[in-house]
Amino acid sequence: MKCREIIRILEELAPREYACDWDNPGLLAGRGDREVETILTAVDATDEVIGMAAEIGADMLITHHPLIFRPIKQINDGDFIGRRLLTLLRNDISYYAMHTNFDIAPGCMADLAADRLGLTETAPLEITGTDLKSGENLVGIGKVGRLPAPMTAAEIAELTKERFGLPFVTAYGLETEAEIFEYAAVSPGSGGSMIAPALKSVARVLITGDIGHHDGIDAAAQGLTVIDAGHYGLEHIFTDFLTGYLKERLGDRVAVAAAPKRFPEKVF
């Protein structure tokens, strides 16, 4: 099966039109006419992932985060991006990334995260447009919805750890530990910019990643509890979901493997 045929199937799921203007999804390296027999899926195109793709003889690598974000003037072994691209090209591995288009597309990252937490009555946390199929339903980054039961912030943190299989989370704004919450917002990935939309929503808890000290304490000062579950911590669900989607769509025509789950952070 040709790489470009697989890309068409991927973009039925998450059309590139959903992607944010600053993003860089799509075929980032390799040949669209590459005959694909084996695919590897991963969150990031790390050295480990690219090495695994070469080792198992993958013809195509699909990741959530694009390896190339900004224009590059040289591809050589002088930096890690160049080395990774050279390995992909040397092994004739076509490399495709689906980032904010996957974050926003109906049934993808935002909905998957909300479903894991058991949120109901959901709506986009930050609206970016409308559903390309219906032309009516709103789509966007993250979700806000009703929790499966009223709970404290500490209980929401435990729920997040359990549902996403996390070794730890950090939280800001737990001073009122007895407060009960009925709604929460979730925004997988880097969520500092999602604090403002969360403050405008019915939620008083935001579950996201990459929250710095100042963003955390400033959010807490405005009455928003922030649970930082890690960038990878919330987005690793991409791999299992996409692997299942491709197996269902491609059947036995193409073998699909998933990179092992590897949390980049460790706590000592």
Comparing CA positions, the residue from 93, 103, 21 lying closest to residue 50 is 93
Q: Is 52 exposed, middle or buried (0-12, 13-18, 19+ CB in 10 A)?
A: middle
Which amino acids are annotated as binding site, given as ranges?
64-65, 103, 231, 235
Whole-number Å distance between alpha carbons of 79 and 253: 36
SS3 40: strand
Comparing CA positions, the residue from 101, 123, 178, 182 lying closest to residue 147 is 182
Which amino acids are annotated as binding site for a divalent metal cation, given as ranges?
64-65, 103, 231, 235
Compute the CA torsion angle 190, 238, 129, 125 (nearest 10 deg): -50
